[in-house]
Structure 1
Amino acid sequence: MYIGTQREPRHATDFKMLTQFGVRHISLDPPGPWTEWTLEALERHRDEVASHGMILDMIQLPLPSVAVDRAPCADILLAGPERDRQIAGICELIENCARAGIPAAKYNFNYIGIPRSEDEIGRGGARLPSFFWDKMDPDAAPPCEPLEEEEIWERAEYFLRHVVPVATSAKVRLACHPHDPWTPPGYRGVTRILGTFEGMKRFVETHESPYHGLNFCIGTMAENLDAPDAEMDDIIRWFGTRGKLFNIHFRNIQGSKGGFSEVLPDDGDVNMLRVLRVLEEVGYQYMVMPDHVPEIDAVDPEGAAFAFSYGYIAAAIQHAKGA
């Protein structure tokens, strides 16, 4: 395993900074709308990344973490009239990733985005993105017509039935992100199928393939558990021993299911050093990257928090490998 990033470099200096930190692997989308990501566009993008001394490990399929009413391929989630055309476009994109030497693609199957309550104040006055169910509006408007849980499973199964064989043939790993965070069944009209360990297991076992797995977020998994630190190791082992971990979002929380704040990796309730030892134990071999970070008082607040996280991850990987 090795350090990665998904933070988009703003200019050449950011690429240079990343390589100086020892970050050489990146998940980064090509410029422009996804419908313009032809083979030639992917190859140009790969070469541009390489010109800065980095390796393009992954891109995002046009199924991001936003609510479905803002998603570029909403008909896949809504079983709308353009569903098959959108799936065909994604299948072509997966095949072009293989031709361009891009080994993986991440995605979400998300209807309500990433709900949050107001920020909490953390260490030294940092502003912490947070979710406390008792501070949320339980009657918040849904972004689509209400859906039964099994209707969502049917749509996920339909998507996987079409894309997993293509990814398997192309040898491109598909990494789905769990739902962030757990919400009560029926909140905003849906029950989140990837908001529990059992749901995530069912998902990766649907249309089994070594190229169908998870963009596994430690923070999101912790948000879905009653006792995150006590439960995390065995969950990682379950997915890791089955070869279902294709990317790691390395972030920590204070709290648990129904109430938490996102913090820097050394400041939360999950022992992140132990997490990396378990990942080493199960033979995990891909990127470990920062994800959400607190708002830090700095000239470049997000950049400062990410820099801290890269350093922590670098040291933690050395520790996990016994260096």
Structure 2
Amino acid sequence: MSIRVAVGQFNELTDEKLRFAAQIGASGIQMNTPILPGEAYWEVADLRRLVEKTEAAGLTFEAIENVPVHFYHKAMLGLPGRDEQIENYCRTIRAIGRAGIPILGYHFMPNSVWRTDRAASGRGGAGNTRFDQAVVDSFENIEDLRPFLPTALGHRAVMPLIGKGEAIIDEERMWGNYAYFIKAVLPVAEEAGVKLALHPDDPPVPMLGGVARLFYKPENFFRAYELSEGSRAWGLDLCLGCCSEMIGGKKNVQEMIEFFGPKGRLFYIHFRDVQGTVPNFIECFIGEGNFDPAEVMVMLYKNGFDGFLLDDHVPKMDGDTSWNHRGRAHAIGYMQGLIRMAEHLEAA
């Protein structure tokens, strides 16, 4: 297969989304935390219906990104009950494999994605999200931070914020939790024929809400790669935006592609960018951020990537929908043009 574009980041598979994907020329779809029956795991039949509906529309079901956080938050935090959650996570992996879905994306952020502004003014007045660590640090009442947590990612709040001066879950404890989790689920994923795609932390900072984050710098991904012990089921949902957000900006994008691309560990790509880096950045349109998107697309080709691209987050344009159809159409068209450009360069 070759590099292609999928439409995604929605949790209900509607006819409208499938028609949008077909009309804009995407080859497949991806779903993020689909709304399905099950309080602890998903069943084959429910997942299979998603695949069949997608295929009936002439599209490929590429991946699911994320189960609800409450499916495995005890595993992420090392809490009592984690073994039961890991067992159920394995049930979900097996169900995904039997349903014919090749990739399950996941993160290891128990308190999820944070933004301090969800309507920051961008190019032409488009609405962008922003993160500013100084805003987070300015609050004395920890409960006032709750508005910074995501509101529409399809999962319930299970992670209590830890107040200032209270117990902290440090990075080494989180590494122990990750190692325990990944060593349990990777063999199951291999047997089920499912690839597990790790997403970087967003924002990529060492700690938020009293809980350490792991995947905020390239060297920590290298450590996780070593923990995978060569399993072909371990790889990345490489969010270029998150890498660009890291201290160092665009050099992280290059480093991650050049390390993991030739190893075949880039399962799919979130093709987005930001202006600035932590501790203060704002999301933006493709082409006005930290990295050169044409250069990065060529880099993906040269380093052997052959998966799908996803727009992920996009600015909200005037007159847009809640899902940002206009912003997504711009991003998808931009990616399609870059792919054709890179194909011509490869053939030259």
Q: Fold-level match, TM-score > 0.5? A: yes
Q: Deviations over 1:246-282 (max 9, x none)?
A: 1100101111231211011122121111111111111
Q: Distance in 2 between matches of 1:218 and 1:238?
A: 14
Q: Distance in 2 between matches of 1:277 and 1:36?
A: 39
Task: Tell me if structure 2 keeps the 8 A contact 1:61–1:90.
Answer: no
- Using the TM superposition, name which of 5-14 and 36-45 deviates more: 5-14
Whether 1:6 and 2:36 are equivalent positions in the alignment is: no
Q: 1:54 — aligned with what?
A: 59
SS in 2 for 1:58: strand
Whether 1:159 and 2:181 are equivalent positions in the alignment is: yes
Whether 1:266 and 2:256 are equivalent positions in the alignment is: no
Aligned positions of 1:142-181 closer than 5 A: 143=161, 145-181=167-203
Q: Which amino acid aligns with 2:326?
A: A
Q: 2:264 — aligned with what?
A: 243
Q: Distance in 1 between matches of 2:291 and 2:217?
A: 17
Whether 1:218 and 2:240 are equivalent positions in the alignment is: yes
Aligned positions of 1:27-106 closer than 5 A: 27-28=30-31, 30-34=34-38, 35=40, 37-62=42-67, 64=69, 71-106=70-105
SS in 2 for 1:153: helix
Task: Tell me if structure 2 keeps the 8 A contact 1:107–1:174.
Answer: yes
Q: Distance in 2 between matches of 1:204 and 1:33?
A: 33
Q: 5+ unaligned residues in a row in structure 1: which ranges?
A: 65-70
Q: 5+ unaligned residues in a row in structure 2: which ranges?
A: 143-159
TM normalised by structure 1 equals: 0.91
- Using the TM superposition, name which of 242-251 and 132-141 deviates more: 132-141
Q: Deviations over 1:209-254 (max 9, x none)?
A: 111011110000111132x234422321111122221110010111
1:197 paired residue among 218, 240, 243: 218
Q: Distance in 1 between matches of 2:175 and 2:335?
A: 35
SS in 2 for 1:322: helix
Task: Tell me if structure 1 keeps the 8 A contact 2:284–2:314.
Answer: yes
Structure 1 position 305, deviation (Å): 0.2
Q: 1:68 — aligned with what?
A: none
When the two structures are aligned, how many residues end up with a matched partner?
A: 315
Q: What is the root-mean-square deviation of aligned Cα atoms in Å?
A: 2.0
Q: 2:157 — aligned with what?
A: none
Q: 1:26 — aligned with what?
A: 29
Q: Which amino acid aligns with 2:191?
A: S
Whether 1:306 and 2:318 are equivalent positions in the alignment is: no
- Using the TM superposition, name which of 43-52 and 151-160 deviates more: 43-52
Q: Which amino acid aligns with 2:340?
A: Q
Q: Deviations over 1:135-190 (max 9, x none)?
A: 3225663625521211100000000010011112222110011101122x444212
